[in-house]
Amino acid sequence: MEQTFIILKPSTIQRGLVGDVLTRFQRKGLIIAGIKMMRLSEEILKEHYAHLVERPFFPSLLKSMMATPVIVAVLRGKDVVNVVRAMTGATNCRVAAPGTIRGDFGMSGQENIIHASDSPENAEIEVKRFFSPDEIFDYVPLTLPATYAPDEL
Ligand code: UDP
Ligand code: MG
């Protein structure tokens, strides 16, 4: 089954929203395949946000992502990359639709609660960047047959 990668950003840790955000993914029926807390280094952030390194807001983004440890996780499910991006909402929380995580929990373009991989290709790269293979678990929750039709699995 497809995997995606998420970061619960320092804004989520600081504001005590870790449970609320994770609960949404669990209620949706996604499987947590890996989860841990870590501090992000400048080095890993420059890799992770390589597409933004030249942007004027990058130093501020760097500082924001290093303000506290973060929680990183791997989520598993059918079409999970698209499902999680849809649940995440637009980058700027003030524009993100109500009902999305950013739309419901944030007010900022930078302090926007969560990172989520934007394509299956990037998800694979990001999972490898933040997790070693022994930190990702393959198991079948008892709820799976009630979550999907047989031909969806
Ligand atoms: N960001 C920012 N200002 C901007 C654009 C992005 O601070 O004008 C931050 C924001 O935290 C965002 C992250 O940089 O989540 C990565 O940007 P990207 O365009 O990849 O947005 P995302 O994929 O997170 O929606
Ligand atoms: Mg992005």
And the tokens for 44?
Answer: 């890993």
User: Does ligand 1 come within 6 angstroms of the Cβ of 24?
Assistant: no
Which residue in the list 24, 25, 115, 126 is annotated as catalytic?
A: 115
* pLDDT (0 to 100) of residue 116: 98
Nearest atom in ligand 1 to the alpha carbon of residue 49 is 16
Closest Cα partner for 130 from 66, 42, 38, 68? Answer: 38
* pLDDT (0 to 100) of residue 119: 98
> Which residues of the chain are modeled with pLDDT < 70?
none
pLDDT in tens, 121-144: 999 999 999 999 999 999 999 999
- Known active-site residue 115: yes
User: Does ligand 1 come within 6 angstroms of the Cβ of 111?
Assistant: no
pTM > 0.95: yes or no: yes
Helix axes 80-88, 18-28, angle to 10 degrees: 140
Decide if 80 contacts 3 (C-beta within 8 A).
Answer: yes
Cβ–Cβ contacts within 10 Å for residue 119, how many? 12
Cβ–Cβ contacts within 10 Å for residue 91, how many? 11
Amino acid letter for position 146: A
* pLDDT (0 to 100) of residue 31: 98
Nearest atom in ligand 1 to the alpha carbon of residue 51 is 20
How far is 133 from 10, CA to CA, in rounded Å? 25
